[in-house]
Amino acid sequence: MSKKLTDSIKQEMHKVMRTKCDTSDFGVRDAITFFGCIPGVNTNVTDIKNKFHEQPPHVLKVIERCRKAEEAIQEDRDYKKQGPRKGQGIEHPLTHKEVLVRESMEKTAQVVQSDKAGVCHTLAQFAFVNLMKECTLNGRAFDDGDPSEIPSIRIVAHNPQSNGANARLRAAGTHNFIIVGFDDDYDLTYEQIEEEKENILIIDPWYFALGNEGSKWGHGIYTWDEYPKGFLHNLSCTYDNQKPFTQEDLEAARELSQTQRKESFKAIKMDWQSVKQVKTLEESLNTMKAKLANLEDEYMTLSDDSGDDWDLEDDDMSEHDKMEKMKSLNLEIASLKERINTTRTNMDNLTQNDEQEACTELQMS
């Protein structure tokens, strides 16, 4: 259970955002994509691109920063090499969910500080890293303290594709920002966040860089009432300070994943071997059945005396030879039937073993 967001912690965070994370003069590379978030813009994106002279001065400033940031980052190899680019991080090898790795976030924060530019997810990581390093409780940085003694600080991602509420806030990709003080036991839903609105703060240095000051705190800190509600739907958590995910965790998870894949491949290989064995037994069984049918026909022919009614010539086989032949056929038929029964038993055993192994694997998983 994380600590509640107290007034003293709010003041501590405000100080860090004001002194360490001031993005008021940062470039925003995707500003035009989120045109509805720029204050004073009441037109469409085409007009913003083609009619700069009709826009308020602060909007021109944002767009100019966007252009400069784009030009700088195009040639910045370090930026191109920095961690996740999708906004939600890398894929967790065990859960197949995208997560952020702390070490990668720290590198991203350094690049953002150097470039004085970024997009929503890099700016969110920049703020998160600074909050954890610079905010203190009882003389210790959040990074060094017990997670249960500090508030929950989560980087969250809004997925616009399933939200048709506010068209002006929709864009091509996810939007990332920070929620502080939201209870770990609650689901990350719009309704639950609204219910907890008095106990949380929203931190979004990207939104601040676009010119949205906020009236109570400023410097990228917003209350529920100040923040766009369109961004508070369809949220998923990509990093939680209460459940930190480090490079060591990632490597351990990858190692476990590789082991699981090897075991899975081994099981699949064994399954194929069983299938091949069953198929071989089936082919052998069919061959034996065909041979059995021929032997039984031959036996019936020898034992049948109806040929005399057709006045056919007697064959060269004597009665003694015929009896010996029938005796030999009878033994061969009996032996073949025994082999057929044994083959059927082996096939049944293989099938049952596969089913038992499958049930065991399901129970273990």
Residue identified by tokens 């081994």 is 266
At residue 278, does pLDDT exceed 50? yes
Listed ranges 48-52, 65-69, 291-295, 315-319; the one with the highest mean pLDDT:
291-295
- Quick one: pLDDT at residue 239? 84
- Quick one: pLDDT at residue 52? 40
- Quick one: pLDDT at residue 84? 37
pLDDT class of 130 with cuts at 50, 70, 90: very high
DSSP letter at 309? G
Does residue 183 sit in helix, strand or coil? Answer: coil
At residue 282, does pLDDT exceed 80? yes
Does residue 167 sit in helix, strand or coil? Answer: helix
Residue 47: its H or E element? helix 45-50
Comparing 17 with 36, the larger pLDDT belongs to 17
User: CA 252 to CA 101: how far, in whole Å?
Assistant: 13
- Quick one: pLDDT at residue 126? 95
DSSP per residue, 222-284: E-TTTS-GGGGSSEEEEEETTS---HHHHHHHHHHHHHHHHHHHHHHHHHHHHHHHHHHHHHH
pLDDT class of 222 with cuts at 50, 70, 90: very high
- Of 354, 355, 10, the residue nearest 180 (C-alpha): 10
The separation between CA 83 and the C-alpha centre of its own chain, rounded to angstroms, equals: 17
**Mean pLDDT for the chain overall:** 74
